[in-house]
Structure 1
Amino acid sequence: MAHTAAPTAVPAAPLTLPIKAIVPWAVFFGILLMALIYFVGAEQGATSLISGENVHEWVHDGRHLLGFPCH
């Protein structure tokens, strides 16, 4: 009868991410999020960057869903 050794579990080393790899992505997504919040929440009236009602109509339901007043 042959004896086999039971496999031993080797603890995995924790994954480390350097801050220099995270910061550019955090800045990118932060700017993207701020632009999205602007267009959903404030692109209307005196602060409008784009004339007309197109942006307002595109994000109209999102405004109501997020609780922004629009009319």
Structure 2
Amino acid sequence: MAQSIAHPVISPADAGTPVTPLPLRAVLPWAVFMGTLMLVLLYFVGAEQGATSVFSGAGVHEWVHDGRHLLGFPCH
């Protein structure tokens, strides 16, 4: 009969490495950058066509067409 051996979970505190929190001043610029990037991507996937389009033609629409359907945006 085989016995199961439980491996102990070693946290950084148990290993002697102190865990220090990141200051908000270091995280905030990256959070703002990622939020802005996500809003720009959401615009291109969700609204870049028709009357609100920034670029003429259907090039952007064709590049994000499958993403539109995946996220539930109507485009036909």
- TM-score w.r.t. the length of structure 1 is 0.82
Q: What percentage of residue pairs aligned between the two structures are identical?
A: 65
Gaps of 5+ in 2: 1-13
Q: CA RMSD in A?
A: 1.3
Distance in 1, Cα, partners of 2:47 & 2:17: 48
* Distance in 2 of aligned mates of 1:10 and 1:70: 54
Runs (4 or more) in structure 1 with deviation over 6 Å come to: none
- When normalised by structure 2's length, the TM-score is 0.77
Aligned residues between the structures: 63
Deviations 1:18-62 (A, max 9, x none): 000000000000000000000000000010000000000000000
Structure with more relative contact order (C-alpha pairs < 8 Å, separation 6 or more): 1
Larger Rg: 1
